């Protein structure tokens, strides 16, 4: 009887180890599959028919039917898209649970893109099977894009001077733009829901820690609708340089922030020298050299 019990224990142990081995093997396979799928899904090309178009404040929102799904995209340009057009774009920047205050609409997912590519602009399009086929034998020269971004109402262009405005402090006192005259100024426009904004905030903080109050100053402008969300963002990113909250699109329009993040380099007299759209590593040696060139000052990385 004792021998049988001992054998049962051995059998149970072997069985358990086999199950554990199978479980580990399946888990590793699933993880490899998930990783592969995640890598493949980082960026893909969408091609399909436009089923809805909304144009507002310099943005073009479009719903595209690929035949398998309907997806939304938004580009910071006004295009002549209309229902029934065929278009393509790359899904490089997805935004989940996005609320557009421009059109007052929520999207479970929407893709922020540089521009829409239409059959009129390119000689190749994606077929329904996802393959690329030649549509024209004649080679077409790409047309230069004269303006990537439509201007905001009342936008101060490069070369112009910022108008005086009250800056509502988020993590400091209320100030005005004139309070920052006398030194070059870097103004970063962001929102708490913006992934690229969050990605670059750490490098802006390090840049500010190094140069604020010395060669130049760094400030931030939030375009959030709700103060508490902007304040929470600053807390989560451990941002200490001065940030301010925009009201009624005043600063957003003046600075031309129809896309974010947007960073504006301003000279000591309030003249706009350069506008940088998109996320950057602001404390990298290369970027610091570029800032010095724009401000015409020597900066030590």
Q: Does 245 lie in the same domain as 201? A: yes
- pTM equals 0.54
Confirm whether 39 is domain-assigned: no
Q: Does 201 lie in the same domain as 106? A: no
Q: Does 188 lie in the same domain as 80? A: no
Confirm whether 139 is domain-assigned: no
Q: What is the pLDDT of residue 88?
A: 83
- Which structure tokens are listed for 26? 């399946």
Q: Of 184, 162, 177, which is closest to residue 297 (Cα–Cα)? A: 184
Confirm whether 68 is domain-assigned: yes
Please state, as a whole number, how many other Cβ atoms lie within 10 Å of the Cβ of residue 1: 5
Tens of pLDDT along 39-52?
A: 344 567 788 889 99
Tell me the C-alpha distance between 92 and 112, whole Å.
8
Under 8 Å between Cβ of 218 and 241: yes
Query: The domain containing residue 79 runs over which residues?
Result: 45-134
Q: What is the pLDDT of residue 189?
A: 97
Q: Does 197 lie in the same domain as 286? A: yes
The structural domain count of the chain equals: 2
Strand-pair partners of 122: none
Q: Does 178 lie in the same domain as 289? A: yes
Alpha carbon distances (Å) from 31 to 18, 34, 38, 42: 20, 5, 10, 16
Q: Is 138 left (phi over 0), alpha (psi -120 to 50) or beta?
A: beta
User: How would residue 233 be classed by pLDDT, with cut points 50, 70 and 90?
Assistant: very high
Confirm whether 86 is domain-assigned: yes
Q: Choose the weakest-confidence range: 17-31, 50-64, 153-167.
A: 17-31
Q: Does 289 lie in the same domain as 171? A: yes
Q: Does 182 lie in the same domain as 126? A: no
Confirm whether 141 is domain-assigned: no
């Amino acid at each position: 009887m004792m021998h049988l019990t001992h054998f049962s224990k051995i059998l149970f142990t072997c069985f358990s180890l086999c199950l554990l081995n199978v479980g580990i093997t399946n888990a590793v396979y699933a993880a490899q599959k998930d990783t592969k799928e995640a890598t493949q899904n980082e960026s893909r090309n969408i091609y399909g028919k436009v089923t809805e178009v909304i144009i507002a404040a310099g943005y073009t929102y479009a719903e595209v039917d690929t035949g398998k799904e309907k997806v939304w995209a938004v580009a910071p340009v006004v295009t002549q898209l209309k229902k029934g057009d065929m278009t393509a774009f790359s899904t490089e920047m997805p935004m989940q649970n996005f609320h557009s205050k421009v059109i007052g609409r929520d999207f479970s997912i929407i893709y922020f893109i540089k521009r829409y590519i239409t059959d009129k602009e390119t000689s190749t399009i994606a077929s329904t099977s996802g393959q690329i086929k030649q549509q024209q034998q004649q080679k077409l020269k790409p047309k230069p894009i004269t303006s990537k971004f439509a201007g905001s109402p009342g936008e101060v262009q490069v070369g112009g001077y910022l108008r005086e405005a009250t800056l509502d402090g988020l993590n400091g006192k209320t100030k005005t733009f004139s309070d920052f005259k006398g030194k070059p100024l870097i103004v970063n426009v962001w929102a708490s829901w913006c992934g690229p904004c969050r990605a670059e905030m750490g490098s802006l903080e390090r840049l500010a820690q190094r140069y604020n109050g010395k060669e130049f100053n760094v400030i931030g402008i939030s375009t959030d609708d709700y103060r508490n969300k902007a304040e929470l963002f600053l807390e989560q990113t451990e941002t200490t340089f001065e940030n301010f909250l925009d009201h009624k699109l005043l600063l957003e329009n003046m600075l031309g922030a129809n896309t974010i993040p947007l960073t504006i380099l301003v000279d000591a007299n309030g003249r706009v020298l350069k506008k940088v759209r998109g996320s950057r590593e602001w404390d990298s040696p290369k970027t610091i050299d570029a800032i010095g060139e724009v401000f015409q000052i020597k900066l030590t990385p």
